[in-house]
Structure 1
Amino acid sequence: MASSTVNRWLRPEVYPLFAAVGVAVGICGFQLVRNICINPEVRVSKEGRAAGVLENYAEGQKYAEHGLRKFVRNKAPEIMPSINRFFANPK
């Protein structure tokens, strides 16, 4: 029984499925850890929860304006800009 299950799921055709699910789980885990560790609205410790609602806008702005958002802010929303320029601007 166990051998047939292993033979069914450990085929080369299933590796892309494992990779896609692994990437999705990794992204979810990263977001979970990011929110628990550095989100100013999430308080895990008892002292932090007792503080109530904090009016700390600077910390919230720092959390929302992370490095990736700053990097893509002034970029055009294109996936392949060089190919788009090639076809949009013929010589």
Structure 2
Amino acid sequence: MASKWVRPEVYPLFAATGVAIGICAFSLLRNITGNPEVRVSKMGRAAGVLENHEEGRRYAEHGLRAYVQDKTPEIMPGINKFFTSPK
């Protein structure tokens, strides 16, 4: 019965679904633990709106964004340079 439902053709679908669930879980955990606007505890929620601009800036300028900030927005720069730069 299981071989009828779990075929090798379905494995890429399982992989894509697993990656999507992983990305959603990562985003959820990152927002719950690091977002300055999300307050899980009752005491944090009672604090109201805080003016913590520096904490928000640190959250928005995370490591990946800081790494790619000075890079050119190209997917394959070697191929782009090969076809666009004259010899």
Q: TM-score range by the shorter chain?
A: over 0.9
Q: Deviations over 1:17-46 (max 9, x none)?
A: 111110000000000000001100000000
User: Partners of 1:70 and 1:44 in 2: how far apart?
Assistant: 28
Q: Normalising to structure 2: TM-score of the pair?
A: 0.95
Partner of 1:39: 35
Structure-2 separation of matches of 1:69 and 1:13 = 36
Q: Distance in 1 between matches of 2:56 and 2:6?
A: 45
Q: Percent identity?
A: 70
1:81 aligns with 2:74: no
TM-score by length of 1: 0.91
Q: CA RMSD in A?
A: 0.9
Unaligned residue ranges in structure 1 (runs of 5+):
none
Structure 1, 80-89 or 40-49: larger mean CA deviation = 80-89
Question: For 2:43 and 2:64, how far apart are their aligned partners in 1?
Answer: 31
- CA positional deviation for 1:12: 1.2
**Count of aligned pairs between the two proteins:** 87
Code of the aligned partner of 2:5: W
Displacement after TM superposition at 1:8 (Å) = 3.0
**Structure-to-structure mapping, 1:1-91, within 5 angstroms:** 3=1, 6-91=2-87
Structure 1 residue ranges, 4+ long, deviating more than 3 angstroms after superposition: none
